[in-house]
Amino acid sequence: MKIVHSRKIRPAEPAAKVEALLKTVSENQLREWVERISVPRHFGAEPEQNRATAAWIHGLFDSMGFRVERQGRYSNVVAYPDAPCDEVILVGAHYDSVGL
Full-model pTM? 0.68
Say what percent of the chain tops pLDDT 70: 89
What was the pLDDT predicted at 2? 64
pLDDT tens digits, one per residue of 60-93: 999 988 999 999 887 889 998 888 877 777 777 7
The residues facing 71 across adjacent strands are 76
Using CA atoms, how far apart are residues 28 and 14, in angstroms rounded to an integer?
22
The answer to whether 38 and 79 have CB atoms below 8 angstroms apart is no
In three-state secondary structure terms, 29 is helix
Least Cα distance to 77 among 98, 49, 56 occurs for 56
Distances in Å between the alpha carbon of 84 and those of 62, 78, 81, 87? 17, 16, 7, 9
Q: Regarding predicted confidence, which is higher, 61 or 11?
A: 61
